Amino acid sequence: AHICRDVNYGWIIRYMHANGASMFFICLYMHVGRGMYYGSYTFLETWNIGVILLLAVMATAFMGYVLPWGQMSFWGATVITNLLSAIPYIGMSLVEWIWGGFSVDKATLTRFFAFHFILPFIIAALAMVHLLFLHETGSNNPTGISSDTDKIPFHPYYTIKDILGALLLILALMLLVLFTPDLLGDPDNYTPANPLNTPPHIKPEWYFLF
């Protein structure tokens, strides 16, 4: 509320951050789809690090979704964390340890905020490891033939291509933020969290519905 109401242009920063997660996952799923199509999973080390990266990004996004502390935030956190209680013997103790109490409360919010801040640095380090393994094996060649001949330099050809792609993504993000900022959100999340009132439909963000 403080960012949206008191900080100059805070509303646009908040909406760029919230909708930026969706843009990030669009790129991520395109990357995973490309990897599956070209059989990149045969490079086990690179692929496994990529899977860990995906899980870390999903964890970061989930914790970020809890932070607004609306109805969907609260009940989403309650439902997802309670899934861990299915683990035999240690399940309930693990859930209470994550909660910092006996239910999702302010202690949980504080922990999720800390992890939401720390995890991106871990993700950046994992991305570097991912690239190191990729450079060890080499990227997949879609044509499946030797590409020792007819090579072109990375710059300026691919730098221009990457910059153009980035600009198109930023344009799409800004159109989303400026015209329909709540398109990918849930209206229930504008209602403050209330443990006594369960929403009729608790559903996750679209990028968790894979």
**Residues involved in catalysis:** 135, 139, 161-162, 205
Return phi, psi of residue 70, to 5°.
Answer: -95, -175
Name all contacts of 123-127 with Cβ < 8 Å and 24+ positions apart.
123/53, 123/56, 123/57, 123/60, 126/49, 126/52, 126/53, 126/56, 127/53
Rg of the chain over Cα atoms, rounded to whole angstroms, equals: 20
Longest distance between any two alpha carbons in the chain, whole Å: 67
- Which 8-state DSSP code applies to residue 104? S
- Which 8-state DSSP code applies to residue 85? G
| DSSP code string of 182-201 | TTTS-GGGGSBP-TT---S-
Nearest CA among 68, 16, 28 for reference residue 206: 28
